[in-house]
Amino acid sequence: MAYEQDNIDAFEINEENNYMVKDPYEDITSSLLNAFHIKKYVEATNMIYPFYPERLKEATYPVSIGNNCYYWEDDDFCKVELGLAEEGKETSFILKKNSIAFVELEPQFSIPEYMVLRFNLKVKHVYKGLLLGTGPIVDPGFKGKLHIPLHNLTSNDYEFKYKEELIQVEFTKLSRHNHDNQNDSVIKFKNFEDKSFKEQIFDDLKDNVLGTNYSVANSLPSELEKFKKNARRYEEKAEKISGTTELIKNAAILTVIGIVVASVTLVTQIFDLVNSSNERIDSLNDNIIQMEKQIDFITEENINKDEKINYLLIENDGLSKEVKYLNKEIYQLQQNSGQTIEN
């Protein structure tokens, strides 16, 4: 059952009792609130409207998807209005793969100046691989609807239904500040401007985004498309190069064949030359052997001639001696014959 006030705006209830500034439960210490204290503060301040107490966890409160979802498609700002089928509205929206959507939450918030909110995705959505743009807190003094960026970086499309629980909210009570003490500097809370989500986000984009393309979209699809185009272009170039490569390949094969044939011819010629040279060398070796034999024969002949010459010289020497001896004999005979005649 929801806490609702007929014909009374949630913000007016809070301001009527001055609960935006005045703490109705000063005895509750500054800390993360448990379920019991969350319920007490919501009953007193109506800071969440509508509120479903049966949803409360020990220290968090689940919050559902509201009436609107915003996203960019092909640089166009798109809006999906969610509601009941009998109202003619969409009962769910598809968070496409590789996309970002800003999802409006169901309740209106009227956060007192002594309270701060933090939130995160419910675990079942985390397990789907979804991411929530968390980190910033919901400031004290905030009034209005919250729109949270939901990132789907997976390759799956996910369906979210109207009033499906999306996030878990925790409430923290701030440390006490004495506004009546004139010696303390009283904090002036900034008033949040009452703008539509479209006005607010486009203002923020204009203030922060360089260039003129004011959109918040996942860059992966466009980058993937660029990659595919580049891949197709490179594929076409590769096909052209492949044709040239085939020609070069064939020319290279013919060149290699020519080189092989020339090499075989050269090797054959070298082989024949080597064989011819070996035969010539063998012939020369035979001739050398024959010449060596002839030299040995001639040398032996010369040795025999030298021996004969020596023998003849010895014989001659002997004959010379005999001649001398005979000459002496003749001389003696002549001497002897001359003396005989004289006598």
Strand boundaries in 122-211, DSSP class E: 130-132, 143-144, 147-152, 158-161, 165-173
Range from 3-12, 142-151, 168-177, 234-243 carrying the lowest mean pLDDT: 3-12
**b/e map 264-301, b = 16+ CB within 10 Å:** eeeeeeeeeeeeeeeeeeeeeeeeeeeeeeeeeeeeee
> In the chain, what are the domains?
10-176+188-217 (2.70.40.10)
For residue 181, pLDDT beyond 60: no
Confidence at residue 16, expressed as pLDDT on a 0 to 100 scale: 62
Confidence grade of residue 4 (pLDDT, cut at 50, 70, 90) = low
Beta bridge partners of 101: 71, 150
Confidence grade of residue 152 (pLDDT, cut at 50, 70, 90) = very high
Record the tokens describing residue 310, joined without a space.
Answer: 């020596």
Confidence at residue 254, expressed as pLDDT on a 0 to 100 scale: 86
- Identity of the amino acid at 100: I
Range from 58-62, 72-76, 220-224 carrying the lowest mean pLDDT: 220-224
For residue 111, pLDDT beyond 90: yes
Confidence at residue 62, expressed as pLDDT on a 0 to 100 scale: 96
Confidence grade of residue 7 (pLDDT, cut at 50, 70, 90) = very low
Could you tell me which of 14, 9, 110, 3 has the C-alpha nearest to residue 52? 3
Cα–Cα distance, 257 to 206 (Å, whole number):
70
Cα–Cα distance, 103 to 234 (Å, whole number):
40
Query: 75: phi > 0 → left, psi -120 to 50 → alpha, else beta; which?
Result: left
For residue 123, pLDDT beyond 60: yes
Q: What is the mean pLDDT of residues 124-136?
A: 83
Q: What is the mean pLDDT of residues 242-258?
A: 80
Can you give the pTM of this predicted structure?
0.59
- Which spans in the chain are helix H? 10-16, 35-45, 123-126, 197-208, 219-342
